[in-house]
Amino acid sequence: MNMSDSIDLYQQIYQVVKLVPKGRVTSYGAIAKFLGVAKSARLVGYAMNLSHFQKEEIPAHRVVNRNGLLTGKMHFSTPTKMQELLLSEGIVVEHDQIKSFPELFWDPSLELI
């Protein structure tokens, strides 16, 4: 238990997001749970909002809510940027919703042993 863990919380979130394989997607809750802050899924979303200020590029388009809905698409450069990025990775998105979401879902707790 390091007291400096909380300091790296955002960095850890960015790390996990960057570890998401291309063509896969994950949810805020999955990342939060993996980091041990399952009840703080909102913090993950908040961190994503700050990801634009990060020096490194964060594939935030691979992070959606538990319903596979592109809730944060409006925070990108353009409202359609997120969908285009996902589409360019082979992920089909219709009506702001990812198709075959359960199949494309990537859970760090299960795959990132």
Partner DNA sequence: CTCTTGACTGGTT
Partner DNA sequence: GAACCAGCCAAGA
Residue type, 113: I
Residues that bind DNA (CB under 7 A): 6, 9, 27-30, 32, 37, 39-46, 48-49, 51-52, 60-61, 63, 65-67, 71-72, 75-76, 82
The distance of closest approach from Cβ of residue 92 to DNA in the complex, given in angstroms and rounded to an integer, is: 18
Token pair recorded at residue 100: 């075959």
Minimum distance from CB of 1 to DNA (Å)? 15
Q: Report CA dihedral (96, 98, 102, 107) to the nearest 10 degrees.
A: -90
The CB density around residue 61, as the number of other CB atoms within 10 Å, is 25
- Compute the least distance from the CB of residue 64 to DNA, in Å: 8
